[in-house]
Amino acid sequence: MADASPPSPPPTPGVPLSALLARADLGLRQLAGPRADADIHWVHTSEMADPEPYLLGGELLLTAGVHLHGAAGATGASPDAATGAPPDTAAGDGAYLDGYVARTVAAGAVALGFGIAPVHDAVPAALVAACDRYGLRLLEVPRGTPFTAVESAVWEAMTEARHRELTRVSEGQRALAAAAAGPDPVPAVLRTLARRVAGWAAVTDAGGRGGLAAAGTRPPAAALTAVARLAHRVTVPGGPASAGESPADGAGRHLAAYALGGPAPDRALALTVVAPPPDPAARSVMGVAAVLLTLLTGPYAAAADGGHAAALVRLLLGERPADVAPLLQHTHWTVVHARARRGHDAPAATLAAGLGTPLIAPGADAVRALVPADRGIGPQPGWTLGVSEPVTVAGLPAGDAHAAAALRRATAGRRPLVRHRSPGIGGTGGLAALVPPAEARAHAAAVLAPLDGAPALRETLHTWLSLHGSWDRTATALSLHRNTVRQRIARTAALLDTDLDDPQVRMELWFALGALS
């Protein structure tokens, strides 16, 4: 047998061998090997004498025993005089089957399926003995059950398992996001996480002590010692973002720790979890919880919460944005509008984590966020972004409009991120800057007066002009049918009594819309 350890199975949902044995339509029967259940991750059919180079680990290897004919010649046995086939003793005796099973086990196969007919009428007794000797599960595939039926059963079960896993991840993300949005969010997130992983979760300090909150059944002292060790490991400067070990206690539970930062550089925090060994879905849920708790306990959130709350109260009491700006700790901000891409169920909390800001507001059409202007903003997985230029607090309404327009362009162009740029070369204003703003606004108001009271027409005109008159891209950006866009533009042209095919007219209208934005 090879000295190397068997390959690890892939991190995908496996199919329990017991589920295949329970299917009456397959008629599989286990003849040898451990009776403990095991997961099948692949199915491979091979008649090679040495299948090891073709196995990844975690397979159900299927064979009809064709390669056993070659063993007869190798052992020097004579074929049966009546049938010409090698005798079972020739195929099973000696070192051949012993080596075949040893190589299959070394390659990481979970089970061997031996097909009855057309080559063999029964599973060779020596093969049964070799599988028992090396601990390889041996299944008899009966006459009338094609290997393709076994393969199809595995892939169907694997697809169902993958669907269940994705459902668990999606439900866990939604539950955690709801907990984070409610009152007392840190304990709520920990309670939700503990329920989802059937274990214990806590936010601890760098030594694994105290912590902000904990939820679930408290683990024994031995596990708490391991908690302290891993919490220190992930919170020291230069340490890993996460770490784990198993088992964490006598019950065989797994321990995981995630670095969260902390409310101050000298007060690092960690999320620690003691639970049954996690599958990929549980790991994903724990990762989402770590992102949310980073936002809820991180240095920016803790330092800014007081100032943000005070600023909000003063704004609600009628103070001017300029007077409230010093409380927000940043003089310039970037406005971001984001929309989840089709097929992505990404919670707003993950977007907040990616942008590095707790100032986020989900809406019916888009998620809006405020990001300090000194922070870089890049594409976010699963999201389409429109990003404004940096603005002062007083300029936030304009930044909001610019971010919304940028998101429309990003959606229409199927681009992950579009940034707003002020008119003119390099964003300096260009020719439009030569006209005094008050005069420009007065002229624009007069030009666009026929559209007063028709915001849908004005929005459609603005989007259509920004997309160079493209009907399809405008329809995509506004979530309209292209015929609706055509009707609105025709109505707009009639109200303005102008020819929208004239580039000079388009330019004048673009400047007018910009002056009023």
Check whether domain 430-516 has CATH 3.30.379.10, yes or no: no
Whole-number Cα distances in Å, 488 to 116, 138, 230, 379, 444: 71, 70, 62, 33, 20
- pLDDT surpassing 70 at residue 10: no
Most confident stretch, 78-87, 292-301, 452-461? 452-461
- pLDDT surpassing 50 at residue 9: no
Query: What confidence score (pLDDT) does residue 301 get?
Result: 47
Q: Annotate 123-183 with three-state secondary structure.
A: CCHHHHHHHHHHCCEEEEECCCCCHHHHHHHHHHHHHHHHHHHHHHHHHHHHHHHHHHHCC
Query: What confidence score (pLDDT) does residue 105 get?
Result: 92
Of residues 190 and 320, the one with the higher pLDDT is 190
Confidence of residue 511 (pLDDT cuts 50, 70, 90): confident
The 10s digit of each residue's pLDDT in 178-221 is: 888 777 788 888 989 989 888 888 888 766 655 556 777 777 77
This prediction has a pTM of: 0.45
Query: What confidence score (pLDDT) does residue 423 get?
Result: 58
Most confident stretch, 74-88, 131-145, 392-406, 411-425? 131-145
Query: What confidence score (pLDDT) does residue 275 get?
Result: 85
Strands 42-45, 39-40: pairing kind: unpaired
- pLDDT surpassing 90 at residue 138: yes
Check whether domain 15-145 has CATH 2.60.40.10, yes or no: no
Per-residue pLDDT averaged across 247-267, rounded? 65
Most confident stretch, 124-138, 167-181, 227-241, 414-428? 124-138
User: How high does pLDDT run on average in the chain?
Assistant: 78
Of residues 456 and 358, the one with the higher pLDDT is 456
Take residue 318 and report the two structure tokens written for it. Answer: 């009628």
The 10s digit of each residue's pLDDT in 29-54 is: 999 999 988 888 888 998 888 888 88
So where are the chain's domains? 15-145, 170-297, 330-420, 430-516
Report percent pLDDT > 70 for the chain: 77
- pLDDT surpassing 60 at residue 304: no
495 and 460 Cβ atoms separated by less than 8 Å: no
Query: What confidence score (pLDDT) does residue 208 get?
Result: 61
Per-residue pLDDT averaged across 67-91, rounded? 44
385 and 417 Cβ atoms separated by less than 8 Å: yes
What is the C-alpha to C-alpha distance for residues 111 and 242, in angstroms, rounded to an integer? 34
Of residues 238 and 174, the one with the higher pLDDT is 174
Query: Dihedrals φ, ψ of 229, to 5°?
Result: -65, -45
Per-residue pLDDT averaged across 247-253, rounded? 61
E strand or H helix that includes residue 117? none
Confidence of residue 427 (pLDDT cuts 50, 70, 90): very low
Of residues 343 and 153, the one with the higher pLDDT is 153
- pLDDT surpassing 70 at residue 74: no
Check whether domain 170-297 has CATH 3.30.450.40, yes or no: yes
Take residue 393 and report the two structure tokens written for it. Answer: 């607090």
User: Phi/psi class of residue 28: alpha, beta or left (left: φ > 0; alpha: ψ in -120 to 50)?
Assistant: beta
The 10s digit of each residue's pLDDT in 375-397 is: 888 888 778 999 999 888 878 88
What is the C-alpha to C-alpha distance for residues 392 and 373, in angstroms, rounded to an integer? 9
